[in-house]
Homo-oligomer: A and B are copies of this chain.
Amino acid sequence: MTDTADDTDLPASRPERFHQARAAQAMAVLEDYAEMIGDLIEEMGEARITDIAGRMGVAHPTATKAVARLKREGLAVSRPYRGVFLTEEGAALAERVRARHRTVVDLLIAVGVPPETAEMDAEGLEHHVSDVTLRAFERYLAAAAKT
């Protein structure tokens, strides 16, 4: 045995933190596709595989597989050669993800990150921002606005 029990771990053990980060990562693709499909439906009335793939920067078979996973998870529906639509649950996820994305970008800008960089980094960061952290960001932004 090597370890002396475990460091500073009264609350979440170190392995637990890695587990959490991996779980968040597993949701990341689903979240981005849901948000993107929501965007497309709003902007152009429908979400086509080609457009999804184009905006995600992937080949269209990759988008097709992602949509298949969304469907499997009950977040989207589609029929062959028709567009993709979000279920209620999928739409709710998309909305949450969109709001969180905005908050993350705003927080980054508020602490001095250049807007362009903020937008860039937020695309990856957003998926690892917990609810607790998100609420802290919102409070910070509200307080900063009052100044």
Interface residues, chain A, with chain B CB atoms under 8 Å away: 2-3, 11-12, 14-21, 24-25, 28, 32, 44, 48, 50-51, 54-58, 107-108, 111-114, 116-121, 123-125, 127-130, 132-133, 136-137, 139-140
Contact = CB atoms under 8 A, between A and B. Distances in A.
Contacts of A140: 111-112
A141 to B, nearest CB: 9
Given A132-B114, A133-B108, A119 B2 contact: no
Contacts of A55: 3, 14-15
Nearest to A127: B124
Copies of this protein in the assembly total 2
DSSP majority for the A interface? helix
Contacts of A128: 121, 123-125, 128
Contacts of A127: 124
